[in-house]
Amino acid sequence: MDEDAQLAEALRLSLITTNEDEQLQAALLFSVQQPTNSQPIKNNQSENLQQALAIERSKNELLSQQLEALQKETIPTEVEIKHAQLEAENRVLREQLFQTKISAKQKNLERLMNSFKEKLTEDDYEELVNFLEAHEEFIKTGNEYAKKQIEKIKKRLLKNEEIGEEDLTRLSQIQTELINLKKELEEKIETAIESEKTKHQCGKIEANETPLEAAKREVFEETNLIIENLEIVGEQAFDKKNRCMGYLVKANKYSGEIKIKEVEKIAEIKFKQIDYEFAINRLFYAIIFEVD
Domain that holds residue 62: 3-72
Query: How many domains does the chain fold into?
Result: 3
Same domain, 230 and 177: no
Tell me, what's the pLDDT at 283?
A: 41
Same domain, 218 and 156: no
Same domain, 182 and 219: no
* 3-class state of residue 25 by DSSP: helix
Measured distance CA(89)–CA(273) in Å, rounded: 7
Say if 203 falls within a structural domain.
Answer: no
Distance of CA 92 to the CA centre of its chain: 14
Report DSSP state, residue 11: H
Say if 121 falls within a structural domain.
Answer: yes
pTM: 0.42
Residue 213, classified by CB atoms within 10 Å of its CB into exposed (0-12), middle (13-18) or buried (19+), is: middle
Same domain, 215 and 279: yes
Same domain, 105 and 184: yes
Alpha-carbon distances, residue 263 vs 77, 88, 204, 221 (angstroms):
13, 16, 20, 13
Same domain, 45 and 147: no
Residues of the chain with pLDDT under 70: 1-52, 54, 65-96, 186, 188-204, 233-249, 258-292
Which among 216, 217, 237 is positioned nearest to 227, based on CA atoms? 216
Q: 286-289 and 244-255 as β-strands: parallel, antiparallel, unpaired?
A: parallel
Say if 201 falls within a structural domain.
Answer: no
CB 286 within 8 A of CB 214: no
Q: Of 195, 223, 256, which residue sits at a domain end?
A: 195
CB 249 within 8 A of CB 233: yes
Q: Of 44, 72, 100, which residue sits at a domain end?
A: 72
Same domain, 83 and 167: yes
* 3-class state of residue 280 by DSSP: coil
Say if 30 falls within a structural domain.
Answer: yes
Q: Where are the alpha helices (DSSP H) in 120-209?
A: 122-141, 144-157, 165-195
Tell me, what's the pLDDT at 125?
A: 92
Say if 200 falls within a structural domain.
Answer: no
Alpha-carbon distances, residue 99 vs 136, 160, 233, 258, 276 (angstroms):
20, 36, 11, 25, 11
Same domain, 92 and 188: yes
Q: Of 26, 55, 72, which residue sits at a domain end?
A: 72
Same domain, 62 and 85: no
Say if 205 falls within a structural domain.
Answer: no
Distance of CA 14 to the CA centre of its chain: 52
Say if 43 falls within a structural domain.
Answer: yes
Same domain, 67 and 83: no
- Cα 279–190–250 angle (5° rounding)? 55
Same domain, 87 and 191: yes
CB 277 within 8 A of CB 286: yes
Say if 111 falls within a structural domain.
Answer: yes
Same domain, 57 and 88: no
